[in-house]
């Protein structure tokens, strides 16, 4: 009888814990850039009410315009046979997004705060420390960082148990993956709430501990860096140098051949140099520099002279018109 009672109590305890999971309905997204706007869009499109926050009304107007353009593309494909329903989908989604320049004034009634601002630990810490004073007790905080340690950000708050990583991928409306990062202090309730939220967005969540780069970037960034090293060994120049020969006699292989080899040999949709230019050379440099500072002896984290040179020359890829390749 005692055994049955214990089993019953465990069952009741488990059910109660599960019932206490936060069902996210109201979301505050901090940062109106590409990632923040994308997160706001998918949240609003799946029935959540969203407040999108950034520093100025001009930034927010640009974000809202980008979201509308993206939604119209989605609607055109999703409602190809019913344009009227597509238009209603766009309007309904947009009506679920409001904007604000004052984060502290809007977090008091939100279930989840997702931060997608500049990859700077000090700036993130200052933001979360401030929001922690105004957010409701139940509110979960999450960072979309791709390279910083979640624990270091969470330590700026008093809610380490309600803090986790929620790493989306660009472009957010199209990419299905979300990495849910659980720190040693993140509660199971918080973790499960974020997994459920990710699924509600139509995403496929995967879980990872708070390790550098999580899963994707931990594998991807060293691969990209090794491609650069393969190209730059004994190289005197880097970037878009056209010899007219179609191949290079310096380095171990040309960037063009490396890209072609990985697309045709490994089945990748983009070669490493094409991907580097798409992601942004400055972004990759920021990540690898941060990892190098934490583990200077790790050969995977060694900086690249070629990458440093291009970033110093403001050649960060597609967004600046030139990186490893030139773009018109």
34 is in an annotated binding site: yes
CA 297 to chain centre: 27
Catalytic residue among 143, 167, 304, 322: 167
CA dihedral 208, 304, 302, 221 (to 10 degrees): 10
Question: Taking the CB of residue 209, how many other CB atoms lie within 10 A of it?
Answer: 13
82 is in an annotated binding site: no
Catalytic residue among 63, 143, 144, 146: 146
CA 94 to chain centre: 22
- Please calculate the CA angle 2-3-7 and round it to the nearest 5 degrees: 115
Asked if 103 and 28 touch (Cβ cutoff 8 Å), the reply is yes
31 is in an annotated binding site: yes
DSSP 104: G
Rounded Cα distance between 278 and 135, Å, is 36
Active site residue 179: yes
119 is in an annotated binding site: yes
- Pairing outcome for strands 163-168 and 177-182: antiparallel
124 is in an annotated binding site: yes
175 is in an annotated binding site: no
Active site residue 217: yes
36 is in an annotated binding site: yes
Active site residue 292: no
54 is in an annotated binding site: yes
Chain position carrying tokens 């509110």: 139
265 is in an annotated binding site: no
Cβ-count burial of 202 within 10 angstroms (0-12 exposed, 13-18 middle, 19+ buried)?
exposed
Catalytic residue among 63, 143, 144, 179: 179
Active site residue 126: no
213 is in an annotated binding site: no
Catalytic residue among 63, 193, 217, 254: 217
Residue numbers in the known binding site for NAD(+) are 31-36, 54, 119, 124, 146, 170, 319
Q: Which residues are annotated binding-site positions for CoA?
A: 70, 77, 146
Q: Which residues are catalytic?
A: 146, 167, 179, 217
């Amino acid at each position: 009888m005692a055994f049955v009672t214990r089993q019953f109590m465990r069952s009741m305890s488990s059910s109660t814990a599960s019932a206490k999971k936060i069902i996210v309905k109201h979301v505050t997204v901090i940062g109106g850039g590409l990632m923040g706007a994308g997160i706001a869009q998918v949240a609003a499109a799946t029935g959540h009410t969203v407040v999108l926050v950034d520093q100025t009304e001009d930034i927010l107007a640009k974000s809202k315009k980008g979201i509308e353009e993206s939604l119209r593309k989605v609607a055109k494909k999703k409602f190809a046979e019913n344009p009227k329903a597509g238009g209603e989908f766009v309007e309904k989604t947009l009506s679920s997004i409001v904007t604000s320049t004052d984060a502290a004034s809007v977090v008091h009634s939100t279930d989840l705060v997702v931060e997608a601002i500049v990859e700077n630990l000090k700036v993130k810490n200052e933001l979360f420390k401030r929001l922690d004073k105004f957010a409701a007790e139940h509110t979960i905080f999450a960072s979309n960082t791709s390279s910083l340690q979640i624990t270091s950000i969470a330590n700026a708050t008093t809610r380490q148990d309600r803090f986790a990583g929620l790493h989306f991928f660009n472009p957010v409306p199209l990419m299905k993956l979300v990495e849910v990062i659980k720190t040693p202090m993140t509660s199971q309730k918080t973790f499960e709430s974020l997994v459920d939220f990710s699924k509600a967005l139509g995403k496929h969540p995967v879980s990872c501990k708070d390790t550098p780069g999580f899963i994707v970037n931990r594998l991807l960034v060293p691969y990209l860096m090794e491609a650069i090293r393969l190209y730059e060994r004994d190289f005197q120049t880097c970037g878009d140098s056209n010899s007219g020969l179609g191949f290079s006699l310096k380095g171990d292989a040309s960037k063009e051949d490396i890209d072609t080899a990985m697309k045709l040999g490994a089945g990748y949709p983009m070669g490493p140099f094409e991907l580097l230019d798409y992601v942004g050379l400055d972004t990759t440099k920021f990540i690898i520099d941060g990892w190098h500072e934490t583990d200077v002896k790790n050969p995977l984290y060694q900086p690249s002279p070629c990458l440093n040179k291009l970033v110093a020359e403001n050649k960060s890829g597609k967004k600046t018109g030139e990186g490893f390749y030139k773009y018109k």
